[in-house]
């Protein structure tokens, strides 16, 4: 942030980007913070953030063109990593932990099944504007057969790879260069890491292409087939070609390293690396097949969509003239036209007339069998909220202010003094004064309190920018324990003084 002479704050775009990147990691940290609240497990021995990263890994690796992994499969694959952290615990517990982590990464329980973070930007007038960043880590999607499966979001892949907010293409190249360097220098452990990063990049790249091909299949007009898509396909094919060559070369290199290595650890590392790079090649091949099919898809769709007859009468283009403009409106405004379309496009609500035969039928219908216990209730996870609006320090300051010796003061005077200390104190002063208005002296006496704070309304009107009402007289009074006390007396006497 830069503060210039006019004291307006400029939030750098880079800061916003980094804040967003930071926010993506928050759900992982939160897992470790919340794990101690789990009652069914001694969660201290599990590293939840680590399991979460493994889960994102597993989902990412299972993502191919058509589907991802279903939750059960991901959890099964996670089990060895979880078991390694707590070998003594039963397998059922490992599985439950796996489900807990995956569900938290989906954020089951929120309507949007995602996460939010606030960050600041500079508005058009130079002021500070708070914006909301919505993101997801694991996304649930329905497959063609209706099964629900998981995919990792772009944010999740970015968090995982650690290369935040970078261009897919350039990051891919960087990873490959790094990989070759590492192998030529014989650093196989690091080389494996780089190869895995390259594989994530490959998946991410394929995912971006998949979206384009999907939309082409749905509607030819929504994709620019004149230049943008052919360019994209050419680029992708060139990319695959160079990657294929590079990876084949790398593969030969590591195979050498594997065969000549004498140390068993090194040999194993080399073997693992061969697997990873082999998988990369397989993914490239798959991507290439899809790219080659794209042209045919386009031509078939074009035949189907473009060679239809000319319009026969003027009609509204529902997609382009109604749906898209509505999607562009803000939610509050969009409620108008979408509601109108709904009311006009859903037909009639025919009022039903109660008939005796119908009623009898309903009454005679045998009751549906119900499970007496009902559905299993999921146990809510309760998170303690910070309920204290005012800090202990603020309470102490206000107590000191109200308990000052001397005659009772006007509320307005107390407010002035409180604001001089801290503007936020004013509200607490008002609340405590209102409370003092109802203080029961009898209770104070029976509790044995020596002094009690009292407030009295003498009809004076409070003139204040923030609060309205009566300008109360507030002060501490001694409670006489022996004789009947007249609570209003001291304040009443000091009224003239105030």
Partner 1 sequence: MSGIRSQDVESASRLVALGMRPKLVPARDPGYAELVRRYGEDDAFKDVVQRVASGLGLVVLAVGPQSGAVVAATEESIFEIRMDEYARRTALANRQADKVLHGLAHLAVAALAFPRPDDLGNDSYVGRVSVDQVDAAVREACRALQERVEGTGENSDPLSEAPELEAAWRAWSRRPPAAATKDGRAGDATTRGIVGKALRFLADQGFLVPVGADGQAGTATFRTTARYQVQVRELASRRAFDELLELGVLPVTSALGTLRPTADGALEAGGV
Among 87, 264, 309, 459, binds partner 1 (CB under 8 A): 309
Beta carbons of 365 and 358 less than 8 angstroms apart: no
Beta carbons of 384 and 450 less than 8 angstroms apart: no
Does the protein bind partner 1 through residue 350 (CB under 8 A)? yes
Give the nearer residue to partner 1 in terms of CB position, either 331 or 363.
331
Does the protein bind partner 1 through residue 126 (CB under 8 A)? no
List, in sequence order, the alpha helices (H) in 2-112. Answer: 13-34, 48-62, 71-85, 91-106
Beta carbons of 233 and 294 less than 8 angstroms apart: yes
Among 6, 14, 130, 438, binds partner 1 (CB under 8 A): 130
Beta carbons of 197 and 161 less than 8 angstroms apart: yes
Beta carbons of 205 and 232 less than 8 angstroms apart: no
Rounded to 5 degrees, φ, ψ at 428 are: -65, -40
Window 218-277: residues binding partner 1 (CB under 8 A): 218-219, 221-228
Give the nearer residue to partner 1 in terms of CB position, either 214 or 422.
214
Beta carbons of 408 and 494 less than 8 angstroms apart: yes
As measured in angstroms, the least distance from the Cβ of 302 to partner 1 is 13
Window 100-119: residues binding partner 1 (CB under 8 A): 108, 111-114, 118-119
Beta carbons of 55 and 101 less than 8 angstroms apart: yes
Does the protein bind partner 1 through residue 352 (CB under 8 A)? no
Does the protein bind partner 1 through residue 370 (CB under 8 A)? no
Give the nearer residue to partner 1 in terms of CB position, either 376 or 496.
376
List, in sequence order, the alpha helices (H) in 219-313. Answer: 228-260, 264-306
Structure tokens at 230: 């052919």
Does the protein bind partner 1 through residue 12 (CB under 8 A)? no
Does the protein bind partner 1 through residue 340 (CB under 8 A)? yes
Among 14, 87, 88, 144, binds partner 1 (CB under 8 A): 144
Q: At how many degrees (to 10) do helices 48-62 and 154-161 cross?
A: 120
Does the protein bind partner 1 through residue 304 (CB under 8 A)? no
- The Cα 66–Cα 144 span in angstroms is 9
Rounded to 5 degrees, φ, ψ at 454 are: -125, 150
Among 371, 376, 379, 388, binds partner 1 (CB under 8 A): 376
Window 45-84: residues binding partner 1 (CB under 8 A): 71
Stretch touching partner 1 by CB under 8 A, among 83-91, 131-139, 294-302, 474-482: 131-139
Please name which of 120, 41, 125, 117 lies closest in space to residue 86, comparing C-alpha atoms: 41
Rounded to 5 degrees, φ, ψ at 164 are: -80, 135
As measured in angstroms, the least distance from the Cβ of 15 to partner 1 is 12
Among 140, 279, 449, 494, binds partner 1 (CB under 8 A): 140
Q: How far is CA 210 from CA 32, 64, 465, in A?
A: 35, 10, 59
DSSP codes of every residue in 121-132 = EE-TTS-EEEEE
Does the protein bind partner 1 through residue 355 (CB under 8 A)? no
Beta carbons of 204 and 154 less than 8 angstroms apart: yes
Does the protein bind partner 1 through residue 369 (CB under 8 A)? no
As measured in angstroms, the least distance from the Cβ of 376 to partner 1 is 8
Rounded to 5 degrees, φ, ψ at 263 are: -75, 130
Stretch touching partner 1 by CB under 8 A, among 57-65, 255-263, 320-328, 412-420: 320-328
Among 5, 87, 264, 345, binds partner 1 (CB under 8 A): 345
Beta carbons of 194 and 272 less than 8 angstroms apart: no
Structure tokens at 493: 């006497």
As measured in angstroms, the least distance from the Cβ of 136 to partner 1 is 8
Does the protein bind partner 1 through residue 16 (CB under 8 A)? yes
Structure tokens at 199: 């594989």
As measured in angstroms, the least distance from the Cβ of 11 to partner 1 is 10
Does the protein bind partner 1 through residue 396 (CB under 8 A)? no
Stretch touching partner 1 by CB under 8 A, among 234-242, 244-252, 307-315, 482-490: 307-315
Stretch touching partner 1 by CB under 8 A, among 29-37, 156-164, 321-329, 482-490: 321-329
Does the protein bind partner 1 through residue 317 (CB under 8 A)? yes
Structure tokens at 406: 């001397």
Give the nearer residue to partner 1 in terms of CB position, either 285 or 340.
340
As measured in angstroms, the least distance from the Cβ of 446 to partner 1 is 45
Stretch touching partner 1 by CB under 8 A, among 1-9, 155-163, 318-326, 365-373: 318-326
Does the protein bind partner 1 through residue 323 (CB under 8 A)? yes
């Amino acid at each position: 942030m830069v503060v210039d002479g006019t004291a307006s704050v400029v939030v750098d775009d880079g800061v916003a980007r980094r804040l967003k990147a930071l926010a993506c990691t928050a759900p992982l940290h939160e897992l470790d913070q919340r794990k101690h609240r789990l009652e069914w497990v001694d969660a201290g021995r599990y590293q939840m953030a680590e399991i979460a990263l493994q889960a994102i890994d597993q989902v990412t690796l299972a993502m191919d063109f058509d589907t991802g992994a279903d939750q059960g499969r991901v959890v099964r694959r996670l089990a060895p990593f979880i078991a390694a952290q707590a070998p003594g615990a039963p397998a059922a517990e490992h599985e439950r932990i796996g489900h807990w982590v995956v569900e938290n990464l989906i954020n089951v329980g929120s309507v949007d099944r995602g996460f939010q973070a606030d960050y600041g930007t500079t508005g058009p007038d130079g002021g500070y504007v708070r914006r909301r960043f919505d993101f997801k880590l694991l996304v649930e999607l329905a497959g063609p057969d209706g099964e629900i499966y998981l995919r990792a979001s772009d944010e999740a892949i970015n968090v995982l790879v650690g290369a935040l907010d970078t261009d897919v293409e350039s990051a891919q190249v960087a990873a490959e260069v790094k990989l070759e360097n590492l192998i030529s220098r014989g650093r196989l452990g690091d080389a494996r890491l780089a190869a895995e990063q390259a594989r994530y990049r490959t998946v991410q790249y394929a995912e971006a292409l998949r979206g384009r091909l999907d939309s082409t299949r749905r509607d030819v007009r929504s994709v620019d087939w004149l230049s943008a898509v052919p360019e994209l396909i050419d680029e992708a094919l060139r990319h695959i070609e160079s990657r294929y060559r590079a990876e084949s070369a790398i593969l030969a290199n590591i195979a050498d390293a594997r065969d000549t290595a004498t140390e068993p650890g090194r040999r194993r590392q080399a073997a693992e690396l061969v697997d990873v790079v082999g998988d990369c090649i397989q993914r490239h091949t798959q991507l290439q097949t899809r790219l080659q099919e794209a042209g045919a898809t386009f031509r078939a769709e074009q035949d189907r969509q473009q060679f239809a007859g000319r319009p026969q009468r003027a009609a509204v283009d529902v997609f382009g003239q109604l749906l898209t403009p509505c999607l562009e409106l803000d939610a509050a405004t969009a409620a108008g036209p979408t509601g109108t379309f709904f009311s006009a496009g859903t037909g009639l609500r025919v009022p039903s007339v109660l008939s005796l035969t119908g009623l009898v039928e309903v009454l005679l219908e045998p009751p549906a069998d119900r499970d007496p216990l009902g559905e299993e209730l999921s146990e809510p996870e309760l998170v303690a909220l910070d309920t204290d609006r005012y800090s202990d320090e603020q309470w102490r300051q206000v107590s000191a202010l109200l308990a000052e010796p001397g005659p009772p003061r006007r509320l307005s005077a107390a407010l002035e003094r409180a604001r001089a200390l801290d503007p936020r104190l004013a509200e607490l002063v008002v609340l405590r004064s209102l409370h003092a208005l109802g203080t029961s002296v009898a209770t104070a006496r029976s509790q044995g309190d020596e002094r009690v704070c009292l407030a009295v309304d003498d009809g004076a009107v409070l003139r204040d920018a923030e609060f309205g009402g009566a300008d109360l007289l507030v002060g501490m009074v001694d409670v006489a324990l022996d004789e009947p006390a007249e609570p209003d007396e001291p304040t009443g006497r000091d009224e003239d003084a105030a």
